[in-house]
Structure 1
Amino acid sequence: MVRAVRGAVQVEADTREAILAGVTELVTAVMERNALTTDDVISVIFTATPDLTSEFPALAARKLGFHDVPLICASEIDVPGALPRVVRLMAHIETARPRQEIQHVYLKGAAALRVDIAQ
C-alpha cells in the first residue's frame, strides 16, 4: 500500500549547519519509527518557512542515502504569526502498515504544530 507520513522540525537558526542537522534528525526519526528503508520511499516533499534560505532541506536526505528517491523543496506560505524556522516533510511510502499505525514525527518546537500526534 502507498501511505503518506508527515513530519516537521524547528531548526535553531537559518544556517546551513542547523538546517542539515535538523532535517537529518527528522528524516532519521521518520525512517526509524516507521521501520523504513530508502527502498520503501517513493518520494519526499520538503517545505521550509520563508525565513530558511541557507540550504535545501533535501540535501540532508541525499546525504542519508536517498540517492534515487525523488525529492523536492518548496517554500511554505508566509502566514503572519506562524512558527518560524520550520522544515516540514511529507513522504510517500510503500508499507503494509495500516494508516493508524503510521508514526508522524514532530520534533523540537514543531511539536506544537500537531500536539495531537507529536512524538
Structure 2
Amino acid sequence: MVRGIRGATTIATNTEQEISHASLELVRELINKNKIEPEQVAHVLFTVTSDVSAAFPAKVLREISGWSFVPVVCAQEIPVPGSLPLCIRVLMTVNTDESQENISHVYLKDAVKLRPDLALTKE
C-alpha cells in the first residue's frame, strides 16, 4: 500500500544552518516514528513558504545513511495571506502495510498549529 506521511516545522530565521537543522530534525522524527527504510520511499516532497530561501531543505536527506538514492524535490508554497511564516513542510510517499490511522505525522514548533489533530497521532 502507498501512504503519504506528512510533517512540518518552522524556523526562527532564514539561515542555511536553521533550515538544515530544522529539516533534519523533522525527517529524522518522521523516519523514526514510522520506522521508514529508504527502500520503502517512492519520493519526498519538501515545500517552503516564500520567506524560507537560504537553503534547500531536501538536501538534508543526503546526510542520512542509505537515503542518497531517494528522489527528493523542493517547491514553494502558495503565498496565502495570513499563512504560517517560516514554514518547512514535507510529504513522504511510502510503501507500507500500516493503516492510515497508524501513520505518525510529525508537526514541530509553530507548525503544530497547521494540523493539531494530526500532531496528536500515535507515538
Unaligned stretches of 5+ residues in structure 2: none
1:83-98 matches, within 5 Å, as 83-98=84-99
Local SS of the residue matching 1:55 = coil
- Deviation track 1:60-116 (CA, whole Å, cap 9, x = no partner) reads 112123210110100001111111110001100011111111111100110011011
AA of the residue aligned to 1:68: F
Q: Distance in 1 between matches of 2:16 and 2:76?
A: 16
AA of the residue aligned to 1:91: M
Number of aligned residue pairs: 119
Q: Distance in 2 between matches of 1:35 and 1:44?
A: 16
- Which residue number in structure 1 is paired with residue 115 of structure 2? 114
**1:43 maps onto 2:55 in alignment:** no
AA of the residue aligned to 1:41: V
Q: Distance in 2 between matches of 1:31 and 1:90?
A: 12
**1:10 maps onto 2:48 in alignment:** no
Local SS of the residue matching 1:117 = helix
AA of the residue aligned to 1:40: Q
TM value normalised by structure 1 = 0.96
Q: Distance in 2 between matches of 1:116 and 1:3?
A: 18
AA of the residue aligned to 2:24: T
Local SS of the residue matching 1:116 = helix
The CA RMSD measured in Å over matched residues stands at 0.9
Q: Distance in 2 between matches of 1:41 and 1:108?
A: 25
Local SS of the residue matching 2:36 = coil
- Which residue number in structure 1 is paired with residue 72 of structure 2? 71
- Which residue number in structure 1 is paired with residue 102 of structure 2? 101
Q: Distance in 1 between matches of 2:52 and 2:63?
A: 19
